[in-house]
Structure 1
């Protein structure tokens, strides 16, 4: 009996790889929990600090700036320290920033202190993001089948948990300080345990002529057209995802006139749809390949975002949120997999692609915030389909290299 197209399961998978897969999934989930815990409480922080949409966008810029700055160094750190130590250190900083942002918003009501906390959260999370994706790409190759979207599904599952906890906290009237402090402690403790299961770090390859260790190769990766185009594709998909993360709760509260708890619920519906898309998307990717799946997903996200804005009443808009989440779910993980097609250069290319992609998180909050000042946050979300549709021409760059495609066909033929 032949296996389904694209399923390349080795005869046996070492226990070490299975344990690493579980450890990576836990790290992804906890990272999502930390980030979503903040996003779910954005309306509460906005009200406590008395910010306009433009002011809130400027504050969220601190989070994005920290993440983008981290991505300029994360590849080199991962190359030098290994994935486990980089993830542990990045998560420690992110947890500290999350706790600080929560206390500064609810107890001190100090915008500068919140900005410092968000910068630390962004820097730590961005550093962890590159390292955990590099480890995920290694595990994916050891397993011999597509699993990267499921790691990102674990991240989305963490965001579902974070959004649910945020909605419950808002419903109960809990302050952001205790809530985000608890989320920070859970994230850090769980991550420190999970990284112990990561695969052993290998020494950086030595230069053939000098015998010295090679650099991370980040500068060379910035000169590769395919890497840059993948980064641009990831940027667009990250913008579609990040705009929902940043603004859905606020848009439902202000635009659809729902309660803060229902705004957090709308965010939860989005991340739940992302989770479903990433969990089931591996089947579609193995069956039809990256390009057809990404084309369909991009169009679905554009339709969903448009429906979210224009549909009335708000339960119908939630259906658009579902389509938006499903469509946007695979863009980022597939882009990371494409960047990591060659293991030796994976850290450098993932770092470059992530840095380009995270530019969306840097530019997105102030862009949508400024538009929101003029047309309202809900209407400002129409920028998402306007960006997604032209990006369809970029999707073919995610196609695997010819040698991997041919190897896949040979192995399927032998099955």
Structure 2
């Protein structure tokens, strides 16, 4: 069975269910905190578990995808992810919560790398990129999981029961979608004859600058995600629900940018769009930093949302097209980019402690400027899959 537009729709669905599962857990954090009676500092330590597990997982997920193929990586990866989703709600102590979240982070790597490599391979077969739309569906899944999780919390559904239902739903849905994907995604494709990758993956030399490009803007994304509500509250005296408006606007514009990102990058070119997005990100940050009202902060967050929207999809497409293994390159890019996403908020917190929150937010201008300077690294090199993996672009039913 050939890679086709139906395959693209299936992989977009897998992006949706992947993020849906993660956001369903994130929205229940306050309930877990209350049930375990955790102080904010202890909760922060526990929540480090996911990034610890994810960073470790990203270091070897590339070789897993390369050796077993992307479809097998995420098809079986969803089983481990679904099992891990059950653990945080069952934790009876902070220490067990930390280890449960480390395990959850470990299970995310093969799914993350697998779906991205599959999306890239389908895009090559179709002769057009689908990466931004896939990440758009990831954003939609994030919002859907958060919305349904909020309803579950509002109606008093216990977190462990909620997560059991989510795990079952995501597992069944992912297996149905993965089973309908063509066999071309179950092998190494053009990488079958490539040199075996090392088990522990650091960024290859030919994508280091590309990784730094992704690192900068994902640091911005992570910091705005975590600090925008606090910024509105502490600097402008906003109260709920206004404190959440900047993040909500940021997320909605980011999702819209991703859904339209493939058309824009094909119409104007990936390098042009990377530079435009980084410029929007810088302008939005500046508006937030020098804002004199909550409306200016929200408008700045909207511009920043468009700025970060297609940065990672563009970087993934470029990394997959560089020399060597696409799976290893994507894993290495994800490792460094997600490191930026995860360390951004603590760095802002440290700077804020010394100089104040406006200066803390102002620090983000440096990584955003770095990404703008490195935007040329997203230039895509012409390539194609081998004949066995490519097949004829068919029209099998969705």
TM-score, normalised relative to structure 1: 0.79
Count residues with an aligned counterpart. Answer: 382
The aligned residue for residue 388 of structure 2 is none
Does the alignment pair 1:345 with 2:325?
yes
TM-superposition CA deviations, 1:169-216 (whole Å, max 9, x none): 555565544444433333222212111122314644799xxxx96544
> Which residue matches 1:151?
134
- In the alignment, the residues of structure 1 paired with residue 372 and residue 56 of structure 2 have an alpha-carbon distance, to the nearest angstrom, of 28
Find out whether 1:390 has 2:390 as its counterpart.
Answer: no
1:77 to 61, 64, 85: 64
Question: Does 1:19 pair with 2:6?
Answer: yes
In structure 2, distance between residues paired with 1:285 and 1:22: 19
Tell me which of 41, 45, 50 is aligned to 1:58: 45
1:130 matches 2:104: no
Contact preservation (8 Å) 1:86, 1:128: yes
User: How far, CA to CA, are the matches of 1:294 and 1:377 in structure 2?
Assistant: 28
* 1:141 counterpart = 2:124: yes
Q: Give 1:102 deviation, angstroms.
A: 3.6
Alignment CA distance shift 1:290-1:344 (3 Å): same
What secondary structure sits across from 2:48 in the alignment? helix
Distance 1:23 1:220 in 2: 30
Give, in whole Å, the separation in 1 of the partners of 2:245 and 2:116.
Answer: 28
Verify the 8 A CA contact 1:75 1:218 in the aligned structure 2: no
Note closer, same or farther for the CA distance 1:261–1:74 as it changes in structure 2 (3 Å cut). Answer: farther
Deviation digits for residues 49-92 of structure 1, max 9, x if unmatched?
Answer: 4433x555433321111111111111111122221221133223
Residues in 1 aligned to 2:225 and 2:165: alpha-carbon distance in whole angstroms: 21
Q: Does 1:116 align with 2:96?
A: no
Match of 1:189 in 2: 172
1:238 matched to which residue of 2?
Answer: 218
Change (3 A) 1:324 1:43: farther
- In structure 1, what is the Cα distance between the partners aligned to 2:29 and 2:235? 16
Q: TM-score, normalised by structure 2?
A: 0.82
Query: Take 1:373 and 1:47, find their aligned partners in 2: how far apart are those partners?
Result: 26
| Counterpart for residue 98 of structure 1 | 85
1:135-170 Cα distance to aligned partner (Å, 9 max, x none) = 000000111112110111110111121232344455
Where does residue 262 of structure 2 map in the other structure? 282
Q: Helix, strand or coil for the counterpart of 2:87?
A: helix
CA distance in 2, matches of 1:45, 1:321: 29
Q: Tell me the residue number matched to 2:75.
A: 88
Partner Cα separation in structure 1 for residue 190 and residue 281 of structure 2: 44
**Cα deviation 1:338-387 (Å, max 9, x = unaligned):** 01125972112112211221222443343344445556778644433332
Match of 2:250 among 270, 278, 281: 270
Paired residue secondary structure (2:128): coil
Distance (whole Å) between structure 1 residues aligned to residue 255 and residue 363 of structure 2? 23
Shift of 1:389: 1.4
- Given candidates 6, 15, 29, the residue that maps to 1:28 is 15
Q: Which residue number in structure 1 is paired with residue 396 of structure 2?
A: none
Which structure 2 segments of 5+ residues have no match? 384-398
Inter-CA distance 252–182: structure 2 relative to 1 (3 Å threshold): farther
State the alpha-carbon separation in 2 of the partners of residues 260 and 42 from structure 1: 18
Cα pair distance change 1:281/1:163, threshold 3 Å: same
1:206/1:83 CA distance change after superposition, 3 Å:
closer
Contact 2:8 / 2:130 at 8 angstroms: preserved in 1? no
- Decide whether aligned partners of structure 1 residues 114 and 171 sit closer, same or farther in structure 2, where only a CA change above 3 A counts: same
Task: Name which of structure 1's ranges 314-323 and 67-76 shifts more when overlaid on structure 2.
Answer: 314-323
- The worse-fitting range, judged by mean Cα deviation, of 387-396 and 170-179 is 170-179
1:237 Cα shift?
Answer: 2.2
Work out whether residues 303 and 385 of structure 1, in 8 Å CA contact, stay in contact via their aligned partners in 2.
Answer: no
Aligned residue for 2:63, secondary structure, equals helix
Query: For the Cα contact (< 8 Å) 2:254–2:305, is it kept in 1?
Result: yes
